[in-house]
Amino acid sequence: MPPIKTRYKVLIVGAGTAGISVAARLAKKLPRDSIAILDPASKHYYQPLWTLVGGGVGTREETEREQRDLIPAGVAWICDAAKALDPDANRVALESGGAITYDFLVVCPGIQLDWHKVVGLAGNVGKHGICSNYSYESVAHTWPMIQATKSGAALFTHPSTPIKCGGAPQKIMYLAESTFRKRGLRQDVDVQFICGMGSSFAVPRYQHALDAVMKRRNITPTYLHDLVEIRPEQQVAVFARVDDPSQRFEKSFSMIHVTPPMSAPDFIEKSPLANEGGWCDVDKGTMQSPKYPNVFALGDASSLPTSKTGAAIRKQAPACAENVLSVINGKQPTAIYDGYTSCPLVTDYGKLILAEFDYDKNLQETFPFDQSKERWSMYMLKKHVLPKLYWHGMLKGRA
Ligand SMILES: Cc1cc2nc3c(=O)[nH]c(=O)nc-3n(C[C@H](O)[C@H](O)[C@H](O)COP(=O)(O)OP(=O)(O)OC[C@H]3O[C@@H](n4cnc5c(N)ncnc54)[C@H](O)[C@@H]3O)c2cc1C
């Protein structure tokens, strides 16, 4: 690994799905030692498999790699966190003190998990029947808690904020429901989906398919309600109406799978790069900042108005890298991202609906069959093919 300098031609903030994918592409075209990635995390995770880990399929250790082994050759890794962005001075301040300057910046530090925004949640995940697939630490508790549930209510929440992988809050619910059914406990466990959004999915074709799954499996949905408080010792969850938080109801639970509220990272929100919502503001086609032409953003931290997934980044990264190279060479960015995103909606062990669509919610399906039908082949794709595509294709700048 090249030694660390204080100035780079290209600085990438975040070495997750987006950061490594873009770095791998740029490293093929730019001289050695001209790119640095800034990230404090020593591990890298393939988060899409956390759904299956939570459902008792595979281990969380299989989703983890050493960050060091993924940084492309010739790219420097600065093991530190961005504290503040100063695009007027082409400068990123570091958490440990000091700063790195750059000619071109790519911003992709992912989305922030706001556990503290639900009263009583922080510090209690993994106890009192509370679990969540949304972090490497917490995913370890999901399967034991599903197995321990024999009666009472099993609640699955989805907040009204933007989240990563909009389908993940439901996927684990379908696996849990299947487990209760196979164990002969289904009549004793009341499975409920409590969601801050107005419907089960943003695209009508897949929404109808998911609504039918819930109906057939006797899962009760409640929409436009956010989880606002948990009383852990009593195992009680408090929900409030999204449009009138004074209207609340309480629900006792045996287990609750929480998808925490999420937001743009604070250091972006406080920077001149943020849009009104705090996300790194970029053109939805070129991924270039409208105010700072030497700045690009992609992935979950960006303002791109699509569903936040790794699959979306698979299409964003090639276009973003191409545009960064164009601007470095004094040209206009011309590569366009069309909003493509995909959500492999696991509906049971061995069943999956593969949602694929663009900014306008037009279907962008890959296969020549109706992907809104639950299929074994698509489950196999998620379990066996997509992880390989990720580690050996996407992160190498090949897929
Ligand atoms: C349970 C679950 C299921 C999912 N299922 C799917 C799925 O089936 N299909 C799919 O396509 N996607 C899925 N996703 C979503 C997918 O994992 C994310 O959309 C994707 O990883 C986002 O990539 P990113 O690079 O923007 O952020 P991340 O991959 O989260 O990486 C962000 C990186 O930035 C670093 N960082 C944070 N703050 C700073 C800072 N201040 N300075 C420097 N670095 C920083 C972090 O350490 C991290 O390494 C799922 C996610 C979860 C949690």
pLDDT tens digits, one per residue of 119-163: 999 999 999 999 999 999 999 999 999 999 999 999 999 999 999
- The values of phi and psi at residue 32, to 5°, are -50, 145
Contact 113, 73 (CB under 8 A): no
Q: How far apart are CA 309 and CA 293, in angstroms?
A: 25
Distance of CA 350 to the CA centre of its chain: 23
Q: What pLDDT does 290 receive?
A: 98
In which residue are the tokens 């706001």 written?
114
Contact 209, 199 (CB under 8 A): no
Q: What pLDDT does 254 receive?
A: 98
Query: pLDDT tier at 40 (50, 70, 90 boundaries)?
Result: very high
> Which atom of ligand 1 is nearest to 46's Cα?
17
CA of 47 to the centre of ligand 1 (A): 7
End-to-end CA distance of the chain: 24
Q: How far apart are CA 346 and CA 174, in angstroms?
A: 7
Q: Is 51 a residue whose pLDDT tops 80?
A: yes
Ligand 1 proximal residues by C-beta, below 6 Å: 13-19, 38-39, 41, 47-48, 50-51, 81-82, 108-110, 133-134, 164-165, 168, 265, 267, 299-301, 308-311, 313, 344
Q: Is 1 a residue whose pLDDT tops 80?
A: no
Q: How far apart are CA 231 and CA 193, in angstroms?
A: 19
**Nearest protein Cα to ligand 1, atom 31:** 16
Contact 10, 324 (CB under 8 A): yes
pLDDT tens digits, one per residue of 151-171: 999 999 999 999 999 999 999
Question: What integer is the mean pLDDT of 52-64?
Answer: 98
Question: What integer is the mean pLDDT of 233-253?
Answer: 98
Ligand 1 site-directed mutation target among 39, 115, 262, 385, most atoms within 8 Å of CB? 39
What average pLDDT does the structure give for the chain?
97
Query: pLDDT tier at 283 (50, 70, 90 boundaries)?
Result: very high
Q: Is 2 a residue whose pLDDT tops 80?
A: no
Count of positions (residues) in the chain: 399
> Which atom of ligand 1 is nearest to 51's Cα?
1
53 - beta bridge partners? none
The Cβ of residue 126 has, within 10 Å, a number of other Cβ atoms equal to 17
pLDDT tens digits, one per residue of 61-83: 999 999 999 999 999 999 999 99
**Residue tagged active-site, from 131, 165, 195, 280:** 165
**Residue tagged active-site, from 108, 280, 320, 343:** 343
Q: What pLDDT does 4 receive?
A: 86
**Nearest protein Cα to ligand 1, atom 30:** 110
Contact 382, 346 (CB under 8 A): yes
Q: How far apart are CA 18 and CA 23, in angstroms?
A: 8
CA of 393 to the centre of ligand 1 (A): 17
Helix, strand, coil shares of the chain, percent, nearest 5, are 30, 25, 45
Q: Pick the closest to residue 90 from 201, 184, 10 (CA basis).
A: 10
Q: What pLDDT does 3 receive?
A: 72
> Which atom of ligand 1 is nearest to 312's Cα?
11
Q: Pick the closest to residue 299 from 23, 99, 33 (CA basis).
A: 23
Q: What pLDDT does 373 receive?
A: 97
Ligand 1 site-directed mutation target among 133, 300, 383, 389, most atoms within 8 Å of CB? 300
Strand pairing report for 91-94 and 99-107: antiparallel
Q: How far apart are CA 387 and CA 141, in angstroms?
A: 22
Q: How far apart are CA 81 and CA 273, in angstroms?
A: 17
Retrieve residue 224's tokens.
């436009």
Query: pLDDT tier at 274 (50, 70, 90 boundaries)?
Result: very high
CA of 164 to the centre of ligand 1 (A): 8
**Nearest protein Cα to ligand 1, atom 7:** 48
Strand pairing report for 152-158 and 255-257: parallel
Q: How far apart are CA 366 and CA 350, in angstroms?
A: 20
Q: For this structure, is 280 an active site residue?
A: no
Compute CA distances 132 → 144, 188, 259, whole Å: 12, 22, 6
Query: pLDDT tier at 371 (50, 70, 90 boundaries)?
Result: very high
53-57, 222-226, 320-324, 395-399, range with the lowest pLDDT: 395-399
CA of 327 to the centre of ligand 1 (A): 26
Retrieve residue 312's tokens.
């979306």
Ligand 1 site-directed mutation target among 22, 43, 114, 309, most atoms within 8 Å of CB? 309
Contact 1, 27 (CB under 8 A): no
pLDDT tens digits, one per residue of 23-36: 999 999 999 999 99
**Domains of the chain (ranges plus CATH)?**
7-111+264-340+391-396 (3.50.50.60), 113-263 (3.50.50.60)
**Nearest protein Cα to ligand 1, atom 23:** 17
Compute CA distances 116 → 120, 195, 244, 260, 322, whole Å: 8, 18, 21, 9, 39
The Cβ of residue 395 has, within 10 Å, a number of other Cβ atoms equal to 23
136-174 residues labelled b (16+ CB within 10 A) or e (exposed): bebbbbbbebbeebeeebbbbbbbbbbbbbbbbbbbbbb
Q: What pLDDT does 358 receive?
A: 97
Query: pLDDT tier at 256 (50, 70, 90 boundaries)?
Result: very high
**Three-state DSSP class for residue 354:** strand
Q: Is 312 a residue whose pLDDT tops 90?
A: yes
Q: Pick the closest to residue 196 from 152, 234, 241 (CA basis).
A: 241
Q: Is 202 a residue whose pLDDT tops 80?
A: yes
Q: What pLDDT does 399 receive?
A: 82
Which residue type sits at 373?
K
**Nearest protein Cα to ligand 1, atom 50:** 48
DSSP class of 164: B
